[in-house]
Chains A and B, each alone.
Chain A
Amino acid sequence: MPAVELNNICKSYNDNLVVDNVSFTVAQGEIFGLIGPNGAGKTTTIRMMMDITKPDSGEISILGESLNEATKNRVGYLPEERGLYRKVRVLDTLVYLASLKGLGVRAARSRAEELLKRVDMLPHKDKKVEELSRGMGQIIQFLVTLIHDPQLLVLDEPFAGLDPVNTKLLKEMILELRNQGKAIVLSTHMMNEVEALCDRILMINKGCTVLYGELAEIKSRYRNNSVFLEFDGVLGEIEGVVGKKEHGEYVELFLDKETPPQKILRQLASRGVSVNRFEVSTPSLNEIFLQVVEKGQ
C-alpha cells in the first residue's frame, strides 16, 4: 500500500488552473521530493493531500484511504507558512498540538521531553515560544510534526530560513525517520537538499507535472554525454569526441552517441597524457530544474 496516491488531481482558483492533472505515488520508507519553482502548485497540492482544501477533480488516498480523523492522526504536516502560539510555553504547545493528533496528555508530555532532549532544547521547555529564536521556533514546529509518531510526514519547505547547523540536524532527523520506515514528502525548491535526501521526485511547473521518477534515472536521462578533463601534456585528436569547451582549469569533451566515456579514458592512457581529473558529467538537479523550467516558459 503506497503512503500517498494522487490520481489526476486538478484545482483552480478563480478560473485559474493552479494544479493540472497531477498524479503520483509515494511508497512507505522513501523520501519523495515535490519540487518546482515558486507558484508551481506545490503547496496547493500538499493542502489537498492534507484535506485542507478540496480538489476540483481527481482522487487522493493517504495511507490507503481518503483522509479522515483517524488517518489525520497518522500524518505529520509541516506547513510552509510557519508559526506557533507566541504566548504559550514550548512544552504546552507540543502537548496541545500532539493531543489534537490523538496522543494522551501524559504520553504527549514524555514524548515532547524526549524530542526536546534529542534536539538539545530541553532547557527551553518552559519558555514562551516568542522567547525563542526563529530557528529554534522552526525546530519546535518540526517536532510538532513528528511528536505523534506519524507514518507519513509532509514537509513543506522545511529548510527555509534555517542556519547550516539546524539544516544538518533536520536532515539527520529526516533520514532517521526514513530509516524507521516512514514515508516523507519533501516539498522544496532547494535542489541540493533534494539531491542529498530524495529517492524519487516529482517536478511541477505551472501546475503540470514535468518530471517524475527515480532521481538517478532522471539525472542520467538529462546527461549531456560529456566528460570533464583536467590534464598535463598535449591532447590532440581523440576518436569519438565531437566538441570541446574550455572551462579554464579543465575542458569539457562532448562525445558522440556511440562513444562511452571509458573509451576516451583508454585513449588518454595509451597516449601517456597525465590525467588529474576525469569525471563523467551529470547535470545537477538544479541545472535540470532550470533547463526544464526555461523550456516550459
Chain B
Amino acid sequence: MNKTILILKREFGQTIKRKSFIIITLAFPVLILIAIGIFSFIQGIEKPLVPSEVISIGYVDEVGGFSGYTEQPGEPTVILMGYNTPEEATSALLAGEISQYFIIPSNYVATGVVTRYTLQRELEPPGGIQWALKSFLLSNLLEGQTSPEVMERTKAPMGLVSIRLDETGQVATDQGGFGALIVPLAVGFLLIISIFSSSGSLLQGLGEEKENRVMEILLSSVSARQLLTGKVLGLGAAGLVQVVIWLLSAVFLVRWTSTLIGGFAGTLQIPDNFLVLGIVYFILVYLFFAVLMASIGAIGANARDSQQLSMILIMPAWIPLWGLFFFLNNPDHVVSRILTMIPVTAPLMVFVRLGTSEIPTWELVMSISILIAGIIGGLLLAAKLFRTFLLMYGKRPRLGEIIKSLREA
C-alpha cells in the first residue's frame, strides 16, 4: 500500500479513537439537546397559571392627585400604598409592611425625578417594578384627559414588526435578525475550534515524534513529503468528520427545535449555502493552517515550543471575535470585507457576515482563491522547512538560519 495512505490511515485512526476527540465531537449536539430539553422543561413548568407575585410598594405624594390605579397587574403585581410623610413610609418599610417606597416630589411634573428607597442591595431597580411605577404615574397624569385605550397605547406605543422583502417584492425566506445570526456564528466558532484542534494535533504529533525521536525512523522509511501529506490529510479527514457531524446536527436540531419549541427558537434560521460553505471553508482553512503548523512543527524545538510559536497564527484568527460588535453592525464595512479575504480571519468573518448580511459571490470566490494560493505557498514553505529542520533536536533555528535555508533550498 502507498506509504502516504498508510500514514493517513494511522493518523485518522489514532485521532478518531482518542477520547478527547469523541467527547468534543459529541459534546456540541449533546449540549444543544440538553439546552433544548431544559428550555422545553422550563417552558412547560411556566405554563400552569401560577398566581403572580404581589409586591406592596409605598409612596409619598407631595404633588397631590396620584391616588388612583393603585393596583398595577403584571409580573409582579404591584399594590401601591400611600403614606403622608417619608417618616411614615420608612417605618412601614422597616416593619416589613412594604418592600420599598418612593417619593413623588412637589416639583415632579417639572423635573420628572422620583426617589426610590429600598432595603435591598441591587444592580438597578427590577424591570417589572419600574414598569409598574411608570404605569402608575402615567395613568394618574393622564386621568380624565384621554380614553383608556389611548392611555394603554401611550404606555407601549410601538410593537415593531420588521419584514424583509426579496427582489420580487415577496416576503423573503431569510428574514435576518438574531435568529439568523446565531447558528452561523456558533458554527463559525466551532469551525475555528475544529481547525485549531486538527492542526494543533498535527503540530503536537510532529513535536512528539521529534521529541521521542521516532522522526528519524520514519524518515528512513518514507520521504518528508509522504510524511507531511499523510499527516495533513489523515488529521484533516478526522477534523472533517467532526465538522460534518456538527453541521448536520446543527441543521437537524434547528429544524427540529423550530417546530418543537417556537418562540425565539422558531426564528432560528440556517442560510441556504451554509452546509457547503461550512465544508469548503473547513477544508481550505484547515489545509492552510495545517501546512503552516507543519512548518512551525519543523522549526519548534519540541511540542511545547511549537505550541507557543503557533500562537502567532491562532491569535489573528480570533480578530473577528474581538471586534464582533462592530462587525455585526457593519457586516459590509471595508474592514469586514478585507478580513473576509485574509485566510487567517476568513472562516469566522464569513460566518459572522453570513449571519448578518449577504456576501457577494465575487467576494466568496476571491476569498477562496486567496486561501488556495495561501495553501500552495504554505506547502512549498513547509516542504523546505520540513526537510531542513525536522531533525534539529532541542534547538530552535534563528530567523536568519530559516531565511538562509529557504533561499538555499
Contact = CB atoms under 8 A, between A and B. Distances in A.
A86 B212 contact: yes
Interface in A97-111: 97, 99-101
Nearest to B404: A14
Nearest to A68: B223
Nearest to A67: B220
Contact of A52 (B1, B212, B219, B393): B219
B10 A96 contact: yes
Interface stretch (A71-79, A188-196, A229-237): A71-79
Contacts of A100: 3, 6-7, 218, 221-222
B358 interface: no
B241 interface: no
* Majority SS at the chain B contact face: helix
A50 B220 contact: yes
A142 B262 CA distance: 66
A83 B208 CA distance: 10
A194 to B, nearest CB: 23
Contacts of B116: none
A69 interface: yes
A258 to B, nearest CB: 53
B213 interface: yes
Interface in B175-225: 208, 211-214, 216-223
A104 to B, nearest CB: 8
A144 B218 CA distance: 11
A84 interface: yes
A84 B223 contact: no
A75 to B, nearest CB: 7
A222 interface: no
A53 B405 CA distance: 13
A250 interface: no
Given A83-B211, A84-B212, A96-B10, A52 B391 contact: yes
B182 to A, nearest CB: 39
A81 B220 contact: no
B214 A85 contact: yes
B213 A83 contact: yes
A100 B388 CA distance: 22
Contact of A14 (B7, B208, B401): B401
Interface string B1-13: 1010011001000
A84 B219 CA distance: 14
Contacts, number: 55
A81 B208 CA distance: 14
Nearest to B14: A88
B391 to A, nearest CB: 6
B213 A72 contact: no
Interface residues of B, number: 21
A82 B212 CA distance: 7
B216 A77 contact: yes
Interface string B74-106: 000000000000000000000000000000000
Nearest to A53: B391
Contacts of A51: 220
Nearest to A73: B221
Which residue of A50, A52, A53, A96 has the most chain B CB atoms within 10 A of its CB atom? A52
A47 interface: yes
Contacts of B213: 79, 81-83
Given A14-B401, A100-B6, A77 B220 contact: yes
A96 B214 CA distance: 12
Contacts of A50: 219-220
A99 B13 CA distance: 15
B223 A69 contact: yes
Given A14-B401, A96-B10, A100-B6, A79 B221 contact: no
Interface string B159-173: 000000000000000
B202 to A, nearest CB: 16
Interface string A45-56: 001001111000
Contacts of B1: 99
Given A82-B213, A83-B213, A85-B212, A72 B391 contact: no
B6 A47 contact: no
Interface string B368-409: 000000000000000000000001010000000100000000
Nearest to A144: B217
A50 B219 CA distance: 8
Contacts of A96: 6, 10
Interface in B219-259: 219-223
23 contacts: A14-B401, A47-B216, A50-B219, A50-B220, A51-B220, A52-B216, A53-B391, A69-B3, A72-B220, A72-B221, A72-B222, A75-B220, A77-B217, A83-B212, A83-B214, A96-B6, A96-B10, A97-B217, A99-B6, A100-B7, A100-B218, A100-B222, A141-B217
Given A52-B220, A53-B391, 19 more contacts: A14-B401, A47-B391, A52-B219, A69-B3, A69-B222, A72-B222, A73-B221, A77-B217, A77-B220, A81-B216, A82-B213, A83-B212, A83-B213, A84-B212, A84-B214, A85-B212, A99-B1, A100-B218, A100-B222
Q: Give 6 nearest A-B pairs by CB, closest first.
A: A83-B213, A83-B212, A79-B216, A77-B220, A81-B213, A100-B221
